[in-house]
């Protein structure tokens, strides 16, 4: 009897090991493909993928520092929401916006015919969903660069820097830049999404805004209706996107960042979107598979 029990336990251990090995091989194959894609990119690319439930990570140039373009607005949003949670600002407070404040580039405030009063929460929303540069500079002024340095330092984001306002070409030429790494972009989103690290009220504000629809590589890559909380960014030679993708069983966080691209910007957009699409296809596969790798969403007519 004892021998039978021992044999049974060994069978269980062997089965569990086979399960782990099967998924391990799946992840190895995905990482190999992504490394090849990254190596063939005509510039410098990096990505960091974190499987929230499974705990697996793929990191390719994850500690490389990239210009963030508008993806840095995730951090600005989080700092502003934290100020609200601490009582340092009331996001329902109304402020005046208008064409006299216009900052070049993306956004809508600069195209208003006349000034208007909107709340700080609406300013933050415009910063994220249409990447409004005027709204972003308002947030930078309200939060302050010193507070942003404290914010990133406090959360251990040592390579993340908010070094300038939007469209500040003198600052760009002087190498005062907004910077982060793929790994720290994912870490920032993890701080927001876990519901425990960042103040819960601040996290709720951030996720509510980041989940609103917007254009960008992630929107182009993901199937219609996919729930995502993200912020893309793009400037000359730079394209980024970082977000939380909410699959039912295997939600994940992904950041893809590029720089030094010398080709057509549309091709760079496509490469980022296609890389996101490949990751999402793999994660959908895991999301719909059992621990043994068998599909779990089988139609009623299936046999076996």
Count CB neighbours of 90 within 10 A: 12
Residue 218 and residue 215: Cα distance in Å, rounded?
Answer: 8
Tell me which residue has tokens 């790494």: 181
3-state secondary structure of 178: coil
In this prediction, residue 52 carries a pLDDT of: 96
State yes or no: pLDDT of 27 exceeds 60: yes
For the segment 105-114, the average pLDDT, to the nearest whole number, is: 88
Cα dihedral sign for 170, 82, 63, 24?
Answer: negative
CA distances from 103 to 66, 93, 95, 110, 266 (A): 23, 22, 17, 7, 24
Residues in the chain: 304
In this prediction, residue 299 carries a pLDDT of: 64
Expressed as residue numbers, the domain containing 116 is 37-287
* The model's pTM: 0.90
State yes or no: pLDDT of 177 exceeds 70: yes
State residue 226 phi and psi, 5-degree precision: -65, 130
State yes or no: pLDDT of 110 exceeds 90: no
3-state secondary structure of 117: strand
State yes or no: pLDDT of 21 exceeds 90: no
Q: Is residue 118 part of a domain?
A: yes
Count CB neighbours of 275 within 10 A: 24
Is 135 in contact with 126 (CB distance < 8 Å)?
Answer: yes
Tell me which residue has tokens 């939380």: 244
- CATH number at 90 reads 3.40.710.10
Q: Is residue 185 part of a domain?
A: yes
In this prediction, residue 300 carries a pLDDT of: 64
Q: Is residue 29 part of a domain?
A: no
For the segment 171-183, the average pLDDT, to the nearest whole number, is: 92
Q: Which of 287, 278, 221, 217 is nearest to 252 (CA)?
A: 287
Which percentage of the chain shows pLDDT scores above 90?
Answer: 77
Tell me which residue has tokens 């600002």: 89
Q: Is residue 22 part of a domain?
A: no
Q: Is residue 301 part of a domain?
A: no
* pLDDT-based confidence at residue 3 (cuts at 50, 70, 90): low
Q: Is residue 9 part of a domain?
A: no
Reading the block at residue 143, the tokens are 């939060």
When divided into structural domains, the chain yields a total of 1
Is 173 in contact with 164 (CB distance < 8 Å)?
Answer: no
Q: Is residue 98 part of a domain?
A: yes
94 or 17, which is more confident?
Answer: 94
State yes or no: pLDDT of 9 exceeds 50: no
Tens digits of residue pLDDT in 221-261: 999 999 999 999 999 999 999 999 999 999 999 999 999 99
State yes or no: pLDDT of 301 exceeds 80: no
Is 41 in contact with 267 (CB distance < 8 Å)?
Answer: no
* pLDDT-based confidence at residue 208 (cuts at 50, 70, 90): very high
- Cα 137 to its chain centre, rounded Å, is 21
Of the CA atoms within 13 Å of residue 270, those in its CB half-sphere come to 6
Which percentage of the chain shows pLDDT scores above 70?
Answer: 90
Q: Is residue 167 part of a domain?
A: yes
Q: What is the DSSP-derived secondary structure letter of residue 94?
A: E
Tens digits of residue pLDDT in 74-104: 999 999 999 999 999 999 999 999 888 888 7
């Amino acid at each position: 009897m004892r021998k039978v029990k021992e044999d049974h336990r060994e069978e269980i251990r062997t089965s569990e090991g086979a399960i782990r090995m099967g998924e391990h091989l799946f992840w190895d194959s995905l990482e190999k493909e992504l490394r090849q894609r990254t190596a063939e990119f005509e510039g410098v690319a990096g990505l960091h993928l974190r499987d929230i439930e499974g705990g697996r990570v793929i990191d390719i140039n994850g500690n490389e520092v990239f210009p963030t373009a508008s993806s840095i607005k995730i951090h600005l949003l989080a700092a502003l929401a934290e100020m609200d949670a601490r009582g340092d600002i009331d996001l329902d407070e109304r402020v005046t916006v208008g064409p006299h404040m216009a900052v070049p580039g993306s956004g809508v405030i600069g195209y208003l015919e006349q000034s208007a009063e909107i709340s700080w929460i609406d300013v933050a929303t415009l910063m994220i969903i249409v990447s409004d540069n005027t709204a972003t500079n308002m947030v930078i002024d309200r939060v302050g660069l010193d507070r942003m340095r404290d914010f990133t330092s406090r959360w251990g984001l040592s390579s993340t820097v908010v070094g300038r306002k939007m469209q500040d070409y003198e600052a760009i030429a002087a190498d005062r830049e907004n910077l982060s790494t793929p790994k720290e972009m994912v870490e920032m989103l993890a701080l927001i999404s876990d519901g425990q690290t960042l103040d819960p009220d601040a996290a709720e504000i951030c996720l509510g805004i980041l989940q609103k629809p917007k254009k960008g590589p992630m929107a182009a890559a993901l199937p219609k209706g996919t729930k995502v909380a993200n912020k893309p960014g793009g400037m000359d030679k730079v394209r980024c996107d970082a977000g939380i993708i909410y699959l039912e069983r295997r939600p994940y966080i992904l950041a893809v960042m590029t720089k030094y691209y010398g080709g057509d910007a549309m091709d760079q957009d496509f490469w980022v979107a296609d890389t996101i699409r490949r990751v999402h296809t793999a994660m959908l596969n895991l999301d719909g598979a059992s621990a043994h790798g068998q599909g779990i969403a089988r139609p009623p007519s299936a046999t076996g």
